[in-house]
Amino acid sequence: MKAPVTTDALLYLNGVTVSFDGFKALDELSLIVEEGELRTIIGPNGAGKTTMMDVVTGKTRPDAGEALFRGFADLTRLDEPEIANLGIGRKFQRPTVFENLTVFENLELSLADSRATWATLFARLTPDHHDRIAATLARIGLTALSDLPAGALSHGQKQWLEIGMLLIHDRTLLLLDEPVAGMTDSETEETAELILDLAKDRTIVVVEHDMAFVRSLGARVTVLHEGSVLAEGSIDHVQNHPRVIEVYLGR
């Protein structure tokens, strides 16, 4: 057993290494996200952003290193549903909503409620549940479309629905993988507002390519490169960082 780590951080990654057939997707990555923080993560393709999210959500087991949530939950030993039930939510790069379920049902599955198989067999929607679904529908602007199969939504609407699915379950930590990919400018602006609004009462980690969007969030930025942290700080700090410039422009 490793020596116990004591940390106050909400998310604590230390020396995390993941390799696929000799290629190191993450190379001793260390990252600390404090409770209540809004953090943006940028980096060129192959920098390890998605793999980092895979490790945090239990999809990928690291070869080495520690990943702790709230200082005690060992994320390297839990599987996806267990991690999700700790309060870590994830939004994928490509919008993944359940296309054969209606918008309403997509939200219903995301409600904070027992996830046990037996419980789902006998679950009934309470009036409170209805209210919360209605409120979320209103917030993501899909009230009128609630009975439509999610597969019939536009790309942007799917992104919104996915964010709504994260909203309705009160997650402690949200991981958003390129939330504005494929959105129009106005949709991007709305999303930025929504994220800032969400960030008031939860911790959010956003992975994004769109620098204008990152700037509009105005949060602390971590730059990943070749599987480890290259620079960290405010957007202006990292944009003037010589190594970051080299990595981004030198390619």
Using CB under 8 A as the binding rule, whether residue 100 contacts other proteins is answered as yes
Q: Residue 16 burial (CB < 10 Å; 0-12/13-18/19+)? A: buried
Q: Does 92 bind other proteins (CB under 8 A)?
A: yes
Closest to other proteins by CB, 104 vs 213, is 104
- How many CB atoms are located within 10 Å of the residue 115 CB? 12
Classify each residue of 42-55 as buried b or exposed e, where b means 16 or more C-beta atoms within 10 Å of its C-beta: bbeeebbbbbbbbb
CB of 219 vs other proteins, minimal distance in Å? 23
Give the x/- contact pattern for other proteins in 179-208, rule: CB under 8 A: ------------------------------
Nearer Cβ to other proteins (107/221): 107
Nearer to other proteins, 41 or 174 (CB): 174
Q: Does 99 bind other proteins (CB under 8 A)?
A: yes
From 71, 96, 98, 69, select the one nearest 85 (Cα to Cα): 69
Q: Is residue 45 part of the contact set for other proteins (CB under 8 A)? A: no
Q: Which stretch binds other proteins (CB under 8 A): 5-13, 117-125, 186-194, 238-246?
A: 117-125
DSSP 5: P
CA 162 vs CA 80, 98, 218: distances in Å: 18, 10, 23
Structure-token pair, residue 9 = 């951080």
Contact 67, 13 (CB under 8 A): yes
Rounded Cα–Cα distance for residues 193 and 170 (Å): 18
Among residues 63, 74, 81, 135, the one that binds other proteins under rule CB under 8 A: 81
- The one among 32, 84, 134, 194 contacting other proteins by CB under 8 A: 84
Is position 178 an interface residue for other proteins (rule: CB under 8 A)?
A: no
Applying CB under 8 A, the residues found at the interface with other proteins are 20-21, 23, 25, 57, 59, 79-81, 84-85, 89-90, 92, 94, 96, 98-102, 104-105, 108-110, 115-118, 120-123, 147, 151, 165, 169
